[in-house]
């Protein structure tokens, strides 16, 4: 859910910035720069301190603080697509801005967005586990790898497996999503097809 929120916000902001350019592009990109200058983990901690830790709050906050990379990707794709012949032809036949964005530009810019979303899942898993380990994420009795690590921390000398296995599960999950993202990047990047 968090990655879906981040991807949606990033696609909308990046599409507006890349397609319209001008003042909209400058305002959105300066807002992205401001958001990127704030350490997201500490910002999330501060927001959770005010709204309280729950699974929905965590997902929404992670989504709201993770959209900037997607926005930059979509903006860059839109800037390159804007001057392509099929976009100029769509404008010439009188297609509306919304039609050009939704039917022509967005589908052609989805490959990097999909890769970013897959890699974002790994980041969200790490962030949620960290917050839950600190007691600010998902609250017991709801299961979370961070909660399991916290519970096993007190007994690490006599029952080491209570902490090791959740840590290994986090490692395998994050590594799997990162490898999946790299595989998708290799499969969806046409520049790499020429080298094969």
Per-residue pLDDT at 132: 87
Per-residue pLDDT at 154: 83
Per-residue pLDDT at 193: 62
pTM above 0.85, yes or no: no
Asked if residue 194 has pLDDT above 80, the reply is: no
Can you tell me the distance from the alpha carbon of 78 to that of 57, in angstroms, rounded to the nearest whole number?
A: 32
Per-residue pLDDT at 191: 66
**What rounded mean pLDDT belongs to the chain?**
88
**pLDDT tens digits for range 80-134:** 888 888 888 988 998 888 998 888 888 888 888 988 999 999 999 999 898 888 8
Asked if residue 196 has pLDDT above 60, the reply is: no
Per-residue pLDDT at 55: 85
Q: Which of 78-87, 166-175, 186-195 has the lowest mean pLDDT?
A: 186-195
Asked if residue 47 has pLDDT above 60, the reply is: yes
**41 Cβ contact list (under 8 Å, min separation 6):** 127, 130
Domains and CATH numbers, the chain: 2-193 (1.10.3720.10)
* Confidence band for 135, pLDDT divided at 50, 70 and 90: confident
């Amino acid at each position: 859910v968090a990655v879906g929120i981040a991807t949606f916000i990033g696609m909308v902001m990046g599409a507006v910035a890349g397609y319209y350019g001008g003042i909209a592009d400058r305002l959105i990109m300066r807002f992205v720069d401001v958001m990127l200058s704030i350490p997201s983990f500490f910002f999330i901690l501060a927001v959770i301190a005010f709204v309280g830790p729950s699974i929905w709050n965590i997902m929404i906050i992670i989504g709201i603080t993770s959209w900037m990379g997607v926005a930059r990707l979509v903006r860059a794709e839109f800037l390159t697509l804007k001057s392509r012949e099929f976009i100029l032809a769509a404008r010439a036949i009188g297609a509306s801005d919304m039609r050009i964005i939704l039917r022509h530009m967005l589908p052609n810019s989805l490959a990097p967005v999909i890769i970013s979303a897959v890699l974002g899942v790994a980041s969200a898993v790490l962030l949620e586990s960290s917050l839950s380990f600190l007691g600010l994420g998902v609250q017991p009795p709801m299961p979370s790898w961070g909660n399991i690590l916290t519970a096993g921390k007190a007994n690490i000398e006599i029952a080491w497996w209570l902490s090791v296995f959740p840590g290994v599960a986090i490692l395998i999950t994050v590594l799997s999503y990162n490898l999946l993202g790299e595989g998708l990047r290799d499969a969806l990047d046409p520049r790499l097809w020429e080298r094969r």
